[in-house]
Structure 1
Amino acid sequence: MTNADERTRLLSEIASDLISLTPLETALKVVMNTLDRHLPMRDGVFVIYGAGREPRLTVWHADGHDVRSRSLTVEQSDAIDCALASGEPHFVKKTVALGFKMKGEAIGALWIDRTFQGRAVAGEMALMKHIAKLIAKASQRELCSGGGSEPDEPQAGQIPKNKPRPHTQHDKIDWIVGDSLAIKKVLETTKIVAATNSPVLLRGETGTGKECFARAIHALSIRKSKPFIKLNCAVLSETVLESELFGHEKGAFTGALLQRAGRFELANGGTLLLDEIGDVSPQFQAKLLRVLQEGEFERLGGTKTLKVDVRVICATNKNLEVAVLRGEFRADLYYRINVVPIILPPLRQRDGDISLLAQVFLEQFNKANDRYSEFAPSALDILSKCAFPGNVRELDNCVQRTATLASSNTIGSSDFACQKNQCFSALLWKTDVDGIGNETMHTLNPRDTMSSGLGPYAGTPSSATATMEAPGFTERDRLINAMVKAGWVQAKAARILGKTPRQVGYALRRFGIDVMKE
């Protein structure tokens, strides 16, 4: 890997994994898999030292070779030094080995056995040094947080021997900020659900913090000492998704040079978050259903059946009920993942939380940029009145943008883009009361949500108050929603949509929707 942009992307991916995945052993396993995808490596190991320089944690490459039996000696003279891994000349030429220190104390080493001979080029050595620094910081953070060595992760097919433990006042989920009644209710439900092993479906608009709540469920559960693994299902093709979740055997497809463990194996004994589950293709849904029902699967290209014990949390901003009606989402998979649904409130329903979150985001901005910005009362008032259809993510972006461009350290109301007609995201949520054909986003009416029978996004637009549909909802989706709520009576659906029965009938014919008889 000689391209500077590729090295930067690799470092960014590794840093993200080391920050977000717990415990450290799980993070290092994911990092080893990442290196395997990007580097011409034959074998490798991460070693984290304990007391007396004895290995406290050792993570090997998934597909070991005879080099494992060789002794590995890493010398440290500076914070990070090159070292020799063996006395055999040809072996040394193929090996990159680094030891690293933190505050003058040796805390670990990494070693990569390459597939080719020749000493490492400057770019490769610089890359490995940066990776060593990231691992060193992650190791120190775990030690400082009291996360010593944990019991060995259960092998595939074994059930972890954890004793149930209810949550206590000492359990903290301080990464979720909010004091509103809406968020308190969700947090209380989260604590109750965390004490069980039931599958959870996190539902909510984009940017409501579904990953944060998934982490909270894991942190408050009996599995908290085991891996928390996440995967965004929307960004991967079906083949890559299968490899990421189930792993693959050597030679399973072009480029599969070594055997690789999937996310289900890595999460064994712990929790797996499948984000954007609504975007999984119907063909892959059947494969996913089996592992959710039976807890077993085969690696891509393999024949050996593996069993795992994983708690699965799914997340989506899609209306799965409509997807089931349209045949885009399997009903059996829907019932399998929708055991305990948790609906996350949008930011506009969290009274008082916008100011709290804005202060937190501004503090993070100040720390990252060595600034001392603060909000004027008028600025917080402007923020509190905004609908923020992008929810917490959009609020974070707004704070960062405003703090970056503010004329002084005190952010006033005039510093916001919306006060200068420069807030382009506002184009997404300008109200439009035209029921059918309305592609914009509006305010959510929770009473419509509960009465619709179609989950958290089945709002019912009317001529008086347009309600917001799920992000990505189409004109056809809204029409089906209204028809289902109206019991497939066109006159009732017309009143819900603020249209005439003739207009609804025309829309049904235009979209080829067969009227169901109840």
Structure 2
Amino acid sequence: MKSDNHVVGTLSIYRTSEEFAAYTFDADLRLLTMIANLIGQTVKLHRMFSADRQRLLNECSTLEKALVSCLPKEIRGERPDVAGIVGESPAIMEVLDTIAVVAKSNSTVLLRGESGTGKELFARAVHDLSRRSAKPFVKVNCAALPESVLESELFGHERGAFTGAVAQRAGRFELANGGTLLLDEIGEISPAFQAKLLRVLQEGEFERVGGSKTLKVNVRFVFATNKNLEEAVEKGEFRADLYYRISVVPVFLPPLRERPGDVSLLAHNFLERFNAENEQKHQFAMSAIETLQSCYFPGNVRELENCVRRTATLARGETIFDYDFACAAGKCLSALLWTGSASGAFADTHPELAGMHAVQPPDEIAPASRGEAVPVPTVLEKPPSLPNAVSEAEGGGFTSSRKMIDRETLVEGMEKAAWVQAKAARILGVSLRQVNYALKKYNIEVKRI
């Protein structure tokens, strides 16, 4: 069987009886040749039809891709690329989707979240995804400057306005004209400066310090705070009219404890940066990632980055294991914010910390709800005593003066520490060795969370 002089197959027949002996071989050959020609033509037609159909499908697909590529990413259902923001959890994806929509307008944005959640990165994302991306992005930390300096920093000053003002200086409002201005820690400014800021937000007009000429700017404002502004307004610490002016589009940034799936991605990203900066080749073992994922991180992403850098700096080998972290040796100072373990691991090396205790352990602190400020753990004078029902340990290197935790207290401590033995030791006020011994003695299986 041929198609355009190319063999596409064969056709054969086998006689099973002598009844057809009257038919000659030539007659059979002519019959099979006609059938083969018909089949060959049919195959040719099918191949031509299939090739034309595939060509049309390819042309349609090419046109569709060309049309879709002309649309903005948010219309195509794709999330825009945001530099510096790492994460794939639903919480972070929801924030990115919101920012992609908000960035298209000039509305004022208020970024709210705990310290260390990356508010500056998200403010930069709002700018980069907006039509103002080619213009300046200027940022000011309002809490880092006193009121007199902050006024000059934002509004600028005229020559001779005060001692040391030897020349005219443009403020951040002027520098950000046409672009975006981030005012971080907006909840920390004084009531007097709040009134001055309100006029700029409403009218876009201001005067330099020591000047009388009114200047007008076109700036997109992004504010950031970790303070409960609603409570500040209720106490009279923050102007209600300013609150309504800056809280046009509030965006709540999730703390790291609400996005545990991103811990591994962030840790690897920070370790890659450390390796690039220091020409190292560190890598995480699986046990190290499990330890990081079980941590509470009250300082959020900032604390995670510091933890990775500190551990990589002190690591003795290229592979980082769980015992390389400070928490494994009971030396994690940030754990004092929520474990109250200073009386345990730090009693000998840091006696000044032995009386500290945080009010709430990690499993008792409810995740911050939208619109509510995150309560900051306070510090008590002495840690509350734990119900340590003890029994004298046998063997294992324990002396008669060494007491052992009972099973119920041990399980309770392990659950509070998310089954991380080093943290449980700090919570219970005992050594890591005692926890290990007690787990083996009571035959308690360590859960993997």
- Identify the TM-score tier after normalising by the shorter chain: 0.5 to 0.7
Secondary structure (helix, strand or coil) at the match of 2:221 reads strand
Indicate conservation of the 8 Å contact 1:206/1:471, yes or no. Answer: no
Give the TM-score, by structure 1 length.
0.54
Pairwise mapping of residues 423-502 of structure 1 onto structure 2 (< 5 A)?
Answer: 423-430=332-339, 442=362, 444-446=365-367, 449-450=369-370, 455-457=371-373, 469-470=375-376
Once residues 347 and 380 of structure 1 are traced to their aligned partners in structure 2, the CA distance between those partners, rounded to angstroms, is 15
The reply to whether residue 207 of structure 1 matches residue 119 of structure 2 is no
The correspondence for 1:238, drawn from 147, 155, 167, is 147
For residue 183 of structure 2, give the secondary structure of its aligned residue in structure 1.
strand
| Residues 114-169 of structure 1 deviation map (CA, whole Å, 9 limit, x = unaligned) | xxxxxxxxxxxxxxxxxxxxxxxxxxxxxxxxxxxxxxxxxxxxxxxxxx978575
Asked if structure 2 preserves the Cα contact closer than 8 Å seen for 1:167 and 1:195, the reply is no
- 1:352-367 → structure 2 map (5 Å cutoff): 352-367=261-276
**Post-superposition shift, 1:472?**
8.1
Residue 214 (structure 2) pairs with residue 305 (structure 1): yes
Q: Residues 106-505 of structure 1: matches in 2 within 5 Å?
A: 171-430=80-339, 442=362, 444-446=365-367, 449-450=369-370, 455-457=371-373, 469-470=375-376
Tell me how far apart the structure 1 counterparts of residues 244 and 302 of structure 2 sit (CA, whole Å).
30
CA distance in 1, matches of 2:159, 2:140: 22
Measured in 1, the distance between the counterparts of 2:238 and 2:362 equals: 26
Kept in 2: contact 1:165–1:195 (CA 8 A): no
Aligned in 2, Cα 1:388/1:326: closer, same or farther, shift over 3 Å?
same
The amino acid across from 1:372 in the alignment is K
Once the two structures are TM-superposed, the CA of residue 449 in structure 1 deviates from its matched residue by 2.4
Question: Deviation per CA, 1:273-328, whole angstroms, max 9, x where unpaired?
Answer: 00000110111000000000110000000000000010100000011111111111
The residue identity in structure 1 corresponding to 2:273 is Q
* Residue aligned with 1:178, SS: coil
Q: Matches of 2:97 and 2:376 in 1, distance apart?
A: 25
Deviation at 1:172, TM superposition (A): 2.0
Which structure 1 residue ranges, 5 or more long, are not aligned? 1-163, 458-467, 475-518
Length-normalised TM-score, structure 2: 0.62
Change over 3 Å in CA distance of 1:470–1:319 after alignment to 2: farther
Q: 8 Å contact 1:243–1:300 — kept in the other structure?
A: yes
* Matching residue's letter, 2:237: E
Letter in 2 for 1:177: V
> How far apart in 2 are the matches of 1:472 and 1:287?
34
Distance 1:302 1:241, change over 3 A: same
Q: Which one has the largest radius of gyration?
A: 2
Alpha-carbon distance in 2 for matches of 1:417, 1:253 = 50
**Contact 1:431–1:442 (Cα < 8 Å) also in 2:** no
Q: By how many angstroms is 1:191 displaced?
A: 0.5
The one-letter code of the counterpart of 2:144 is: V
Moved over 4 A (4+): 164-171, 437-444, 470-474
Q: What's the CA shift for 1:438? A: 6.7
Post-superposition CA distance 1:314-345 (Å, at most 9, x none):
00001111111111110100010011000000
Query: 2:275·2:281 contact (CA, 8 Å) conserved in 1?
Result: yes
Unaligned runs of 5+ in 2: 1-70, 342-356, 381-449
The letter for the 2-side match of 1:260 is R
Q: Aligned ranges for residues 58-97 of structure 1 at < 5 Å?
A: none
| Change in CA separation of 1:472 and 1:329 when aligned onto 2, cut-off 3 Å | farther
For the residues of structure 2 that align with 1:189 and 1:280, how far apart are their CA atoms? 27
Aligned equivalents of 2:248, 2:231: Cα separation in 1: 18
Tell me by how many angstroms 1:171 deviates: 4.5
Task: Count residues with an aligned counterpart.
Answer: 292
The 8 Å contact of residues 218 and 228 in structure 1, kept in 2 or not, is answered as yes
Instruction: Give percent identity, aligned residues only.
Output: 63
- The structural deviation recorded for 1:440 is 5.8
Post-superposition shift, 1:430?
Answer: 1.9
| Superposition deviation, residue 407 in structure 1 | 1.4
Structure 2 counterpart SS, 1:449: coil
The verdict on how the C-alpha distance between 1:196 and 1:347 changes in structure 2, with shifts beyond 3 A counting, is same
